[in-house]
């Protein structure tokens, strides 16, 4: 039996159906990682909210600020659509998708025993709440608001910190999935 990194010496092979010996390794679960998820989500959400408030107050209706020449600028854009401005007529649908993502993460959190998964889901949750806040509370109205984007690299979509958190969380989830780690802490070996 192989010992996995970061788990106690005692591992058991036990598949999801309870029959022993299909190569799936589990360790004693310990405690849920909901606190980690909530802290990461709160940090991602707070950073997004604060930066958007500052950007709207200080930069909107002004010339872009060059951070790295013309390669990276700060330029306020109100985006009713998704990435690259796609789906501007679908603001209500995008709002519903963000709400569904939040509900799915809340359901997964009930069986969350993995710290890396808690971090990844926390970034997704914080980012989803950040952009959902814009869609609910910004003009032109409730559930039709435009997301404030302001990080403007040359030849790329303008984005915000919520978008960055969502992308980073998504990349981490892909990596964890390829490594065989499930949200419940189970490590699969193929």
Q: Cite the active site residues.
A: 149, 163
**85 has which bridge partners?**
none
Which among 99, 145, 109, 120 is positioned nearest to 40, based on CA atoms? Answer: 120
**Which three-class secondary structure state does DSSP give residue 149?**
strand
Alpha-carbon distance 175 to 179, whole Å? 6
Q: What is the CA radius of gyration of the chain?
A: 20
DSSP string, 156-167: S--B-HHHHHHH
Task: Provide φ and ψ at 103, rounded to 5°.
Answer: -65, -45
């Amino acid at each position: 039996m192989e010992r996995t990194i970061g788990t106690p010496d005692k591992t058991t092979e036990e598949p999801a159906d309870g029959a022993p010996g299909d190569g799936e390794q589990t360790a004693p679960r310990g405690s849920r990682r909901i606190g980690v998820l909530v802290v990461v989500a709160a940090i991602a959400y707070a950073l997004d909210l604060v930066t958007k408030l500052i950007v709207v107050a200080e930069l909107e209706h002004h010339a872009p600020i060059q951070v790295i020449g013309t390669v990276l600028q700060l330029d306020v854009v109100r985006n009713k659509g998704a990435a690259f401005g796609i789906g501007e007529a679908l603001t209500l649908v995008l709002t519903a998708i963000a709400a569904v993502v939040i509900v799915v993460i809340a359901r997964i959190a009930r069986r969350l025993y993995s710290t890396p998964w808690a971090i990844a889901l926390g970034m997704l949750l914080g980012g989803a709440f950040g952009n959902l806040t814009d869609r609910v509370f910004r003009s032109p109205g409730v559930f039709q608001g435009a997301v404030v984007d302001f990080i403007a690299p040359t030849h790329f979509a303008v984005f915000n910190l919520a978008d960055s958190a969502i992308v980073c969380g998504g990349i981490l989830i892909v990596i964890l999935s390829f490594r065989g780690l499930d949200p419940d802490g189970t490590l699969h070996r193929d």
